[in-house]
Amino acid sequence: MRSLFPIFLLFLFTVLSCQSEKENKSDRRIGEINGVPNAAEMIRNPISAKGIQDTINIPKIAFLETEFDFGTVNEGDKVSHTFKFKNTGTVPLLISDVRSTCGCTVPKWPKEAIPPGTEDKISVVFDTAGKKDKQHKPITLTANTLPSKTILSLYGYVNPKK
């Protein structure tokens, strides 16, 4: 009988500790912990192992343009362009990464959360040194949107050095 008593106490402690955790979670408002915005709620992914969970309360990124043709330039020139966008969703937009296929194209993007209805921009500089002829530079943006990836593109022609 004595050997069952510690097992019973362990079981009782486990049951009671799980129940108090549930009560604490239910007291919290969704998206806040002690009045502070919950970062995990801002970057939550609407797709889970159970499938699509929520497609309404997500950020949506709307670009004025996703492609830019810089025309014809000479090798060695630096071409820059700004892609303007707006968060048309209902929650803050977080851009986690923007990258190109090579080091010749360098993007700059906002690192902080972009509130719903707010406009911002992604600036891109393409260095044509060592490049020639027809060029296409894709820029991949990763954010807490659905889908999570957006492709921006630079196009043009680089006249080679003589």
Give the domains, in start order, of the chain with CATH numbers.
4-52 (no CATH), 61-159 (2.60.40.10)
pLDDT value for 143: 95
pLDDT digits (tens, 9 = 90+) for 31-61: 455 554 545 455 555 555 566 566 678 899 9
Task: Give dist(CA 61, CA 119) in Å, integer.
Answer: 10
pTM over 0.85: no
- With 0-12 / 13-18 / 19 or more C-beta atoms within 10 angstroms meaning exposed / middle / buried, residue 125 is middle
Could you tell me the CA-to-CA distances from 150 to 11, 36, 60, 74 in Å, in that order?
A: 50, 30, 11, 29
Quick one: DSSP state of residue 160? P
